[in-house]
Homo-oligomer: A and B are copies of this chain.
Amino acid sequence: MSDTPEPSGPQASQEPSLDEQIAAYQREFRDLDPQVEKVVSALGRLNRRMNVAYGRQVADLGISNAEWEVLKTLVLSGAPYRLGPGELAKRLGLTPAAMTHRIDRMAGEGLVTRDRDENNRVRVIVELTDEGRQKWLEAMRMATAFEEELLQDLSAEERGSLGEMLIRLLRRVELTQPDAGGRLTDLD
Contact = CB atoms under 8 A, between A and B. Distances in A.
User: Which of the four size classes fits the interface of chain A?
Assistant: 35 or more
A172 B147 contact: no
Chief secondary structure at chain A's binding surface = helix
A27 interface: yes
Copies of chain A in the complex = 2
A182 interface: yes
A150 B172 contact: yes
Interface of A: 4, 9-16, 18, 21, 24-25, 27-29, 31-33, 35-40, 42-56, 64-66, 69, 75-78, 82-84, 86-87, 90-91, 93, 117, 119-120, 123, 125-126, 137, 140, 144, 146-154, 156, 158-163, 165-170, 172-174, 176-177, 179, 182-188
